[in-house]
Amino acid sequence: MAEKMADKTAAAESRRIVLGITGSVAAYKAAELARLWVKAGFTVDVVMTDAACRFIAPLTLQALTRRPVWTQMWQNEQPVGDGMQHIALSRGAQAMVIAPATADFLARAAQGRADDVLSALCLARECPMFVAPAMNRQMWTHPATQRNIARLRADGVTVLGPDAGELACGEIGEGRMLSPEAIAAAVASESGEEKLLAGHRVLLTAGPTFEAIDPVRGLTNRSSGKMGFALAQAAAQAGAEVTLVAGPVALPTPTGVTRIDVVSAQEMADAVFAQAKRADIFIGVAAVADYAPAAPVTQKLKKETNETLTLTLRPTVDILAELAQRAPCVFRVGFAAESQDIVALGEAKRQRKQLPLLIANRAQDAINADDNEVVLLDDDGAHPLPRMEKTLLARELIKEVAKRLKTKPSKANG
């Protein structure tokens, strides 16, 4: 087990991205981009131009990445290899991403200039390169910029964006840098991430449900939806066509994912059953309410002094169990959040709901947390995974699902 954990740690450390930042107001977004990659288990080496340092301090990026930030060609502190960081930094990297990329930098990169550490790295790289432009709309549409973009594309550089909307200068139009989430998803999709689920259609549920008592009150739980949304993103990055049925949560829709918003357990069930005919993988991550008020009222209940309120509850539809009858060919994955005996209780749930794979965790450790520790349960027993960030865990779980899709059907699945 120790060897397996060490292998996973080494694999995470080997995933490295070089993030180049140039002199744009959008440089502040690069901090969030670096944070997203670090959270997902990447090592991030940041390289900044002189102009970029006027918009955001290198110390900010150093704190986020826990790595030295490179700003000068002849930087002597903590040299890489033989000190030729303008070459060495790109060796072994999964991708080089320039975000934001100004009009000036795009011009110098298109010309093959090498007059600072970042432009030299672009010439010396042995990895895919991405640029995320950020500039005024007139600068973006200028023929010179468009010629430079065409030249970069012809040289194999992937151009991400820009987006349209309100710009920092107050004008409206194309020129905004894409969101950090969109850039991270695009880089993952294009830079060699394994397409383990290419050709598959994945249906997921995430978040809590809300069961109305009256127009303003209801029964719910503290599920944040973070694990389900991370899995949706990981499945999309693995090449799947993903539909996410989400309970009431305030989370952004993952890039490349189709989202259906619902509130109650019945609404979630209806959405799942309607979409199941198109899916070949179902992952039930949502914390669906087991019970709902039997007779919700249409007017707000008034509090009566010193009187108790009795609610009659009815069981809600069991989505996982019902799906086994409605769509037996769908590969079904369940989650079990238990407060104790997670392996025994999780395995009982797996058998009861005829699941080839169930992922169990301690509810008190996972709810609203950014990391999680789970145990995978299947016909071969219990397989614990170490605690890790949910975004990184989601990638590992997608790998486990893909691995099981290649094997013989589960006994629990008939």
Catalytically annotated residues: 169
- Rounded to whole angstroms, the Cα distance separating 262 from 388 reads 29
- Rounded to whole angstroms, the Cα distance separating 326 from 77 reads 63
User: Which letter does DSSP use for residue 410 in this model?
Assistant: P
- Rounded to whole angstroms, the Cα distance separating 249 from 207 reads 6
Tokens of 414: 């008939």
- Rounded to whole angstroms, the Cα distance separating 312 from 34 reads 50
The gap from C-alpha 275 to its chain's centroid, in whole angstroms, comes to 22
Q: At residue 182, what is the residue type?
A: A
Q: Within 13 Å, how many C-alpha atoms sit on residue 390's CB side?
A: 20
- Rounded to whole angstroms, the Cα distance separating 151 from 342 reads 57
User: Which letter does DSSP use for residue 207 in this model?
Assistant: S
Q: What angle do CA 99, 103, 107 make, to 5 degrees?
A: 105
